[in-house]
Chain A
């Protein structure tokens, strides 16, 4: 059962090219693919690559994770627009997802799916094979058993598009929530659009609504803060005495983040960094404070996982 859960947490490569492309897959280090039903018989004959049938038409299609700076458009905000699918995973955690991402963006898609533990298939092009394979190898090296998402507040999701966009903005600000049906006393706050505190009219500006939630929660009570980049999104998972910090640089296909400061609630003297593309990197300026822990990543190319322990 645990093995099945682990397999589901690692994204798969959807490959609809014929079996004569197998050498390119092998060269990239790929040994397992998802294929359309019509290609399955041919791929069964290929040694060294395990093929499994999958149907993208039955999956929820996602945006390619990236940053869109939209320099050509005037806006009320300097904050870059992040195409992040985190809210979709939170709304439909049991769905299967499909990305169509070329080149280095395929690795971004894999990083996002890994960070949210999403069951995703990723279609890419020949240029995306190697970065995608490297990210999947990175993901396979992460011990995932027993970790549960950590949320600061609950969000009552009515399934509407406006609720979806508010959830999207909350995720992009690394405001940690989980979808609930009714207020959960174990959470610091419950957000329900249309309630007295969160009028539907104000939710028409989802960015402003996200700021209202942030103000009600207060920065001091947030379990995760990220300093030094507007294009990094984080989430937390927890288990007894442990905390896992997922950090994704949504601009990772284009440029790295040079230095990132992170603060989490809780005192964790032990730490281990797994940084995609930089295996020997160490955390800098590590501090265990009263009720909190802070550290600096020397850089963030696409995806980092920081495991903390009491």
Chain B
């Protein structure tokens, strides 16, 4: 990260990609969106050439999904299935593809198996919630936020030891602590253990911790592509999706290699939706906003939406809106 296309984001919208009434995703449309987005990002005329820029047949490919809002809002199995099709087309064997997430209890609620070959691994780091066994004891970030005894956040073992490339597939969601949860948070808090300790009461340390984790090697080098699933999203009380009122349907895939540029676009999407709903900005850090977040003008935490800009200072991508090139495609 930020890869070969810093400051670039491709946003593909397709009205018929999802039926908000039923939640049913049109797989054929998703395939078209992915194809159009990848070709626009790379400038290649053929999908094969576009994908071959990022992967080789010898790679072991991880697909980092996001299931924290599952079962309602998650990296759609149709989107993940379409990505797996393209990875297979590059020549990567199915057994060298890993769909992964931290928590087994969330992962199992999403039917990825129905959309990928049997040989594709579907892997969670924590079959037992809180277990350290799925994490690499040698790769960690150590920080003491609130006097917690366990001051380490360890990287998932498959990321450090097995995968050679990672495709990051976050959702379009507001986040109660970090403002938004997109590419950066999905690859940071989604790949490391023991991260919830960074929030306590209304205080959250996501401002610097997200970028710090995302910049750890080998995470930073292995993440080669982001495909943000915005078919459905959450504009308030994320990353969970317990309240239907706070779901929305951008009907969009965003594609790029720069997580900062993509997350800056996500901020704009979430802010626009919140404004349309009459909700306060995610950048409002007044203590007056603290309260029961069933009210979209209240929140449990002082949000740290500045974490995206902070990540740019670590060299993870381009935050300056004037320097971000956005390509919009309508299908």
Contacts and interface: CB of A to CB of B under 8 A. Distances in A.
Interface of A: 76, 78-79, 173-174, 207, 211, 214, 219, 226-230, 257-261, 284-285, 287, 294, 296, 298
Contacts of B151: 219, 227
Nearest to B147: A211
B131 A258 contact: yes
Interface string B129-165: 0111100011000001001111110000000000000
A228 B147 contact: no
B49 interface: no
A228 B130 contact: yes
A230 B128 CA distance: 15
Given A227-B152, A228-B132, A259-B133, 9 more contacts: A174-B149, A227-B151, A228-B131, A230-B150, A258-B133, A261-B137, A285-B137, A287-B137, A287-B138
Nearest to A212: B147
B150 A296 contact: no
A207 B201 CA distance: 17
A228 B151 CA distance: 9
Give the dominant DSSP class at A's interface: mixed
Given A219-B144, A258-B128, A258-B131, A226 B150 contact: yes
A255 to B, nearest CB: 9
Contacts of A78: 200
A260 B138 CA distance: 14
Contacts of B137: 261, 285, 287, 294, 296
A296 to B, nearest CB: 6
B133 A227 contact: no
A230 B132 contact: no
Given A173-B149, A226-B149, A285-B137, A260 B200 contact: no
B132 A296 contact: yes
A284 B130 CA distance: 17
25 contacts: A76-B201, A79-B148, A173-B149, A214-B147, A226-B149, A226-B150, A227-B150, A227-B151, A227-B152, A228-B130, A228-B194, A230-B150, A257-B130, A258-B130, A258-B131, A258-B132, A259-B131, A259-B133, A261-B137, A285-B137, A285-B138, A287-B138, A296-B132, A296-B133, A296-B137
A229 B150 contact: yes
A258 B149 CA distance: 17
Contacts of B131: 228, 258-259
A230 B133 contact: no
A260 B130 CA distance: 10
Nearest to A230: B149
B31 to A, nearest CB: 40
Nearest to A298: B133
A144 B144 CA distance: 35
A210 B131 CA distance: 26
Given A285-B137, A294-B137, A261 B149 contact: no
Given A261-B137, A287-B138, A296-B137, A227 B132 contact: yes
Given A285-B137, A287-B138, A294-B137, A229 B130 contact: yes
A1 B138 CA distance: 45
A77 B130 CA distance: 18
Nearest to B134: A259
A80 B144 CA distance: 18
A298 B133 CA distance: 7
A298 B128 CA distance: 12
Most buried by A among B133, B144, B152, B200: B133
A211 B130 CA distance: 24
B199 to A, nearest CB: 10
Contacts of A228: 130-132, 150, 194
Nearest to A172: B149
Contacts of A219: 144, 151
Nearest to B200: A78
Nearest to B199: A78
A303 B137 CA distance: 22
Contacts of B150: 226-230
